[in-house]
Amino acid sequence: MALSIEDVKKIAHLARIEISEDEAAATLTKLTGILGLIEQMQAVNTEGIVPMSHSQDLVQRLRDDVVTKTNQREAFQGIAPVLGNGSTERAVDGGLYLVPKVIE
Amino acid sequence: MINSSLKTLSQMLAKKEISSVELAQAFLNRIDAFNPEINAYIALDQDKTLAQAKAADARIAAGNAEPLTGIPIAQKDIFCANGWKTTCSSKMLENFVAPYDAHVISRFDAAGAVNLGKTNMDEFAMGSSNETSYFGGVKNPWDFTRVPGGSSGGSAAAVAARLCAAATGTDTGGSIRQPASLCGFTGLKPTYGVVSRYGMIAFASSLDQAGPMAKSAEDCALMMNVMAGFDERDSTSLNREKEDYTRDLNKPLQGLRIGLPKEYFAEGLDANVAKVVMDAVTEYKKLGAEIVDISLPNTGLSIPVYYVLAPAEASSNLSRYDGVRYGYRTPEYTDLMDMYCKTRAEGFGEEVKRRILIGTYVLSAGYYDAYYLKAQQIRRLIAQDFEEAFKHCDVIMGPAAPSTAFKAGEKVDDPVAMYLEDLYTIAVNLAGLPGMSIPAGFSNSLPVGLQIIGNYFDEARMLNVAHQYQQVTDWHTRMPEGLA
């Protein structure tokens, strides 16, 4: 399953990482090397083996339906990113986070 | 004093031979002198440190000290500490001041330990040399031209250069044990689920585990007594009875069965490292241990499996860095998609981006079965190898790293070569077992670690096995010349 430069660009888009033509070419070389390493797995017969997602056989714990967290909006919004596009303010307003308009 | 065990320091504090403030100041002075060169710490806050030390002194005076009260500890910068910059060595979190404490941090606070500062690491713990850090590499205290290992490279250098009494680390594929080997000290990765991951910045959640990095097994046991324990805020934290990890330290090793996996001594292992490890095994025979030849046939597959599973989990975990609620946001953008893509392109370093891309690829439609599912199936085979091996032995021994510390820059452009650094450590994470590395000697003046792998929850026995060796050898007391 050889990777192409178009694949790299597609993956980068899925991962929401901007990538230039030059970066895509350099990344292709490195990813191809890593996928070559990973490819060793294909030689193993794994028919009938139950996939192991976790080392401990755990079930999700349940807890009582009671309030355990206090409101920390101010503390959490105090570390919001800087808005950008010329503004040095934090990207918050009236208790909400500011992002570019997504609905017309 | 800088070479004293935690127990000795604790006794000195109890007898008022030294105050916690004096102890913290002594380490802060050493940090002032050596950190500009070594770069082990990336955040220091003298006022906070000394305030904690003062509080510890008051607690000692009041007569309710615990074993680590007043002891200065370095914290890997992966643990959120309220009011401290917590960056994970990434530009993405360069200005992130944590609004809460990780479980590990609150446990040390409750024990009265003193936070000396936050240590450098590979960005988001992705690396084996500390060279992926946004804040620059860390120098190996034994040879400044070499790397300390990674990802807990700052904590490793801080312990080796005696810039702290002990430190914390995390280990996803070897990030405590490989630096412990390369810098010559004792590091323990506990059984998965023993130490809470709450507030520990996530890399690969099914593999990440925090543990102690210290000068001796006894010190690690005292650290474990603080770090381990159930925490309902981590859904994979195990609800077990509280253990005293020092309880078995003095047990004799007569009859201990040590398994030597033939795969850990095969091609790829430096001959000098192999010799040091085998000399340590000989020492164990003198202590009454029996040697059992074992096989972990799927060892070689652990690296391919890890480089599917860890990036897959990382690509999901790191999707939270979107520039919306905290961390870095690109200064110029047109729309939401542009903001996301630029923020992540600029905020993450090369290795982190590479792993996110690998993870995104192996999880994408059409490839999931061939990569992700296949890797999970082989993960089970790897865990079964250990299950079978532990039918014939009590602990497994071998090298922790294939060679001694390598030169800075040597592997930085070859990710595959860098990944092979973790050949002997990764399988332990995949199986969720405990593993440690202890100093076993030197090769060309560079430290060599002996890895000890135990069965699930066998930390106390492993610490016993390490402690007994440290009673008859002095490798763990050595420190680099010129840093005294």
CB–CB contact A31 B357 (8 Å): yes
Rounded to whole angstroms, how far apart are CA atoms A97 and B321? 14
Examine residue A91 and state whether it is found in any structural domain, yes or no: yes
Rounded to whole angstroms, how far apart are CA atoms B463 and B36? 34
Assess whether pLDDT exceeds 70 at residue A1: no
Q: Is B1 exposed, middle or buried (0-12, 13-18, 19+ CB in 10 A)?
A: middle
Examine residue A51 and state whether it is found in any structural domain, yes or no: no
Enter the DSSP assignment of B16: T
Assess whether pLDDT exceeds 90 at residue B283: yes
Residue B151 designated active-site: yes
Examine residue A56 and state whether it is found in any structural domain, yes or no: no
- Reported as a single tens digit per residue, the pLDDT across B20-66 is 999 999 999 999 999 999 999 999 999 999 999 999 999 999 999 99
CB–CB contact A34 B358 (8 Å): yes
CB–CB contact B99 A72 (8 Å): yes
B338 contacts on A by Cβ (under 8 Å): 100
Chain B: nearest CA to A70, how far in angstroms?
A: 13
Examine residue A67 and state whether it is found in any structural domain, yes or no: no
Residue B403 designated active-site: no
Q: Out of B193, B319, B371, name the one closest to residue A56 (CB).
A: B193
- Reported as a single tens digit per residue, the pLDDT across B218-274 is 999 999 999 999 999 999 999 999 999 999 999 999 999 999 999 999 999 999 999
Domain range list for chain B = 6-256, 300-357
CATH of the domain at A16: 1.10.20
pLDDT for B110? 98
Q: CA angle, B233 as apex, B213 and B242 as ends, to 5°? A: 60
- Reported as a single tens digit per residue, the pLDDT across A67-99 is 988 999 999 999 999 999 999 999 999 999 999
Examine residue A58 and state whether it is found in any structural domain, yes or no: no
CATH superfamily of B6-256: Amidase signature (AS) domain (3.90.1300.10)
Q: What is the ipTM of this complex?
A: 0.96
Rounded to whole angstroms, how far apart are CA atoms B15 and B20? 12
Cα torsion B288, B294, B300, B303: sign: negative
Write out the residue range of the structural domain in which residue A19 sits.
Answer: 5-43
**B-contacting residues in A 38-77 (Cβ below 8 Å):** 38-42, 44, 46, 49-56, 58, 60-61, 63, 72, 75-76
* Total structural domains within chain A: 2
Q: What pTM did the predictor assign?
A: 0.97
CB–CB contact B415 A97 (8 Å): no
Assigned token pair, B288? 């009454």
Task: Tell me the pLDDT band of A60, cut-offs 50, 70 and 90.
Answer: confident
Residue B175 designated active-site: yes
Spot the catalytic one: B175, B181, B302, B315.
Answer: B175
Examine residue A88 and state whether it is found in any structural domain, yes or no: yes
Q: What is the mean pLDDT of chain B?
A: 97
